[in-house]
Amino acid sequence: MAESSASLPFAGRTVIVTGGGSGIGQAIATLFGARGARVGILDLASADATVQAIAGAGGTAVHVQCDVSKQDDVSRAFAELQGRFGPLDILVNSAGVAHVGTVEQTTEADLDRIYAVNVKGVYNCLRLGVMAMKARGGVILNVASVAATAGIADRFAYSMSKGAVLTMTLSVARDYIHQKIRCNCISPARVHTPFVDGFLAKNYPGREAEMFDQLAKTQPIGRMGKPSEIAELALFLCSDAASFITGSDYPIDGGFLTLKM
């Protein structure tokens, strides 16, 4: 028996997810694939696991290696994916890198690295995404962070970059509302991804479990988020059910921004 349109609401739609090789981006790409979308994954690293997970669920996905900080790379990748899957319907900007440090601890090289991926990379993809969508409409979702609107210790460069993601979201939503392009962003707090495990292993060897518990408890709900939970919100905001939503930032943070004691 064929899948119903209700179970495959994104059937026939072309979706590009940056940073879809791991973490939040992987969860988003996998969920779109499970809901019928043709998923193009842009990632500098391997995305074999994501492509295989989507294919294993009966979906369609392809990985194009791409450095989002390089506009020529992004142009090539967008052209390749649209040539294969058809015109772009949905763009999710999830690619990003992290940095820990105050302004004094942030070197010029650190700042340039964060800017190149988290700001310029999002700009590059927004530019190509808008160019692809403006004749027929579409949906753009950017992954920002609670660090965009809250003062978080030792996150100077990262917070700067996510603040830029938030304001770029508002600009695109305003500038292209009459071209029927919706643009929103989501702002996760701490989510349990491979980055978290790697950070703890590097900085707190032998104390990983203790420090994980401390980080989890910084959120009033008492735990970190799951990538799959972030993906569910992303899917909704890119769906027809969210057709009245644009220019909005959605915290998904276990109460971090509003319930802190």
* Element at 172 (helix H, strand E): helix 156-175
| Crossing angle between the packed helical segments 156-175 and 121-133, to the nearest 10 degrees | 10
Characterize 32-61 residue by residue with b for buried, 16 or more Cβ atoms within 10 angstroms of its Cβ, and e for exposed: bbbbbbbbbbbbbeebeebbebbeeeebbb
How high is the pLDDT of residue 32? Answer: 98
Closest CA to 221 of 192, 183, 241, 180: 192
How high is the pLDDT of residue 261? Answer: 55
User: Is 204 a catalytic site residue?
Assistant: no
Indicate the pTM of the whole model.
0.95
How high is the pLDDT of residue 3? Answer: 53
How high is the pLDDT of residue 260? Answer: 73
Which member of 123, 158, 176, 250 is catalytic?
Answer: 158
Specify the amino acid at residue 17. Answer: V
How high is the pLDDT of residue 13? Answer: 98
How high is the pLDDT of residue 4? Answer: 54
Phi (first) and psi of residue 222, to 5 degrees: 90, 10
Tens place of pLDDT per residue across the chain (261 aa): 345 567 899 999 999 999 999 999 999 999 999 999 999 999 999 999 999 999 999 999 999 999 999 999 999 999 999 999 999 999 999 999 999 999 999 999 999 999 999 999 999 999 999 999 999 999 999 999 999 999 999 999 999 999 999 999 999 999 999 999 999 999 999 999 988 998 899 889 999 999 999 999 989 999 999 999 999 999 999 999 999 999 999 999 999 999 975
Specify the amino acid at residue 45. Answer: A
Compute the residue count for the chain: 261
The full set of domains in the chain, from first to last, is 14-189+225-249 (3.40.50.720)
Residues 6+ apart with CB under 8 A from 195: 23, 98
